Amino acid sequence: MKKVKAAGMFIAAALSALVARSATAAVPAEEAKQLGTTLTEWGAEKAGNADGSIPPYTGGIEKVPGFDRKTSHAYVDPFANDKPLYTIDAKNLVQYADQLTEGTKALFRAHPDYKMDVYPTHRSMRYPQWTVQNTLKNANTAKLVGAVDGDSMAGADKGLPFPGIPFPIPKTGTEAMWNHKMHVTPAVRRSRAGGYLVDTSGRVATLPLQELYVVSPWYDTKDAMRKGTFNAFFGFNSTLIEPPSAAGTVFLNFYLPTADNGGQKVWFYTPGQRRVRLAPEFAYDVPIASYGGVIFWDDICGFAGRLDRFEYKLAGKKEMVVPYNVYSITNTMTTTDDFLGPKFVKPAGLRFEKHRVWVVDSVRKPGVRHAYARRTFYLDEDSWQILANETYDNSGKVWRVSYVASFPTYDLGGMNGDGWITYDLMKGNYFMDNVAAGFSGRGLRSYETAEGMRLPLTPAAVEASGVR
């Protein structure tokens, strides 16, 4: 997984290979020619939009004044001086309705005083060059396999795709969802973070504070994690440290590129029992008990888990107002008064911008069990990160509306999408998790490799680190 110096030569050769191998290519030859020309190598439109509200892609951001990755314990907001271009509220909702997700419109129906401040659009996502090269190699070698359509991936890197975007020009909703699952992000993200639940009366309950290691082993530049994490592309160790009654509880989750072991390996450590046990039931629509059951296991970070219970349709690409460059609740805000409102997150807490997004609509398969009947996802064209989604109940009503508080990890490249907000329109409450805002000792650091780090990423390491 070494970086290649002659990047330009490699890209030209890779694009030529895409055309030459059109007989077996996942991407047709004529379409492949767009990668690196009219499209970025990962499939986004390079050009801006017609009215200039979405600018051309120029490479993302890398260096931000005031941030030193060796000493800073949180990301500096590079756009802190931006002012809102306009505010969307009940008075002008019709004017912007076509640019809003169905979930956002449902929020306006539930809360007529809801507001969204819309800021200048910054296409700030930056890709490490070696992941760009790998994405080009994936374009005509990665494919979906398995007994269930899209349940597993295959490719040319020892039977799997190369670490990068597997399907830069997706043809199906399932391919787009795998792009999200494989989106480029630092190998290790460490934070002391937590969450809040705001009930229907506006009362705030602080959820367990956690020492959190979120890992993307495929993006370890030293390839130091994949072997020890079951070849997982995503995982986390969440160790609860507050309140005292929950301290020492550990969740260890890994999500796999195939359907082996149900597509995941999950363990649970409880201090009272002093042992680690497998928890395969922590999946799909099983409520997460430590969060009061307000979300399901496959709601994590916009979506986490297998794709086998829904049919995924790629509904196309749209210009939409979505959360983006959200450094506020994830990094910079220090008190809950800054962002927690009685019914919804205050406008200052969640930055919205206009971006092009892929819309993926999914419907529950006949005869399959899941509490949701339908889910719609909105994926950023630049990062492939899910930015928003809404879920529907069996009667066809919007049930939950989620926004992912993503932001570019500009020091290393990639996008952090580990924090999110979910509104439950049936219960009238809202919830957020994996945010550092308002917690003492807060901070978020990213690392390009796990080499030299003593991470508790095995059941034995979790058990050995138990303190109660």
Q: What is the mean pLDDT of residues 351-369?
A: 98
Query: Residue 243, preceding bond cis, omega within 30 degrees?
Result: yes
Q: Is residue 265 part of a domain?
A: no
Q: What is the pLDDT of residue 231?
A: 96
Number of domains in the chain: 1
pLDDT tens per residue across span 264-316: 999 999 887 888 999 999 999 999 987 878 899 999 999 999 999 999 999 99
- Which of 253, 228, 198, 246 is CA-nearest to residue 427? 198
Q: What is the mean pLDDT of residues 121-126?
A: 98
Q: What is the pLDDT of residue 437?
A: 72
pLDDT class of 382 with cuts at 50, 70, 90: very high
Neighbours of 171 (CB within 10 A): 13
Q: Is residue 11 part of a domain?
A: yes
Rounded to an integer, what distance in angstroms lies between the CA atom of residue 382 and that of residue 256?
Answer: 24
Q: State the pTM of this model.
A: 0.93
- For the ranges 9-18, 163-172, 313-322, 404-413, which has the lowest average pLDDT? 9-18
Q: What is the DSSP string of 41-106?
A: TTS-B-S--TTSSSPPP-------TT--TTT-SS---TTTT---SEEE-TTTHHHHGGGS-HHHHH
The helix or strand, by DSSP H or E, that contains position 362, with its residue range, turns out to be strand 352-364
Q: Is residue 349 part of a domain?
A: no
Question: For residue 210, is pLDDT > 80?
Answer: yes
**C-alpha angle with apex 328: 323 to 332, nearest 5 degrees?**
160
- Which of 176, 236, 143, 148 is CA-nearest to residue 43? 176
Q: What is the pLDDT of residue 17?
A: 42
Q: Is residue 94 part of a domain?
A: no
pLDDT tens per residue across span 189-208: 999 888 899 999 999 998 88
Q: Is residue 39 part of a domain?
A: yes
**C-alpha angle with apex 305: 277 to 414, nearest 5 degrees?**
110
Q: Is residue 186 part of a domain?
A: no
Look up the domain containing 23 and give its range: 7-50+128-179
Question: For residue 24, is pLDDT > 50?
Answer: no
pLDDT tens per residue across span 216-256: 999 999 999 999 999 999 999 999 988 888 889 999 999 99
pLDDT tens per residue across span 75-90: 999 999 999 999 999 9
Percent of the chain with pLDDT over 90: 78
Q: Is residue 15 part of a domain?
A: yes
% helix, strand, coil for the chain, step of 5: 20, 30, 50
pLDDT class of 26 with cuts at 50, 70, 90: low
Q: Is residue 33 part of a domain?
A: yes
Contacts of 441 (CB under 8 A, 6+ apart): 192
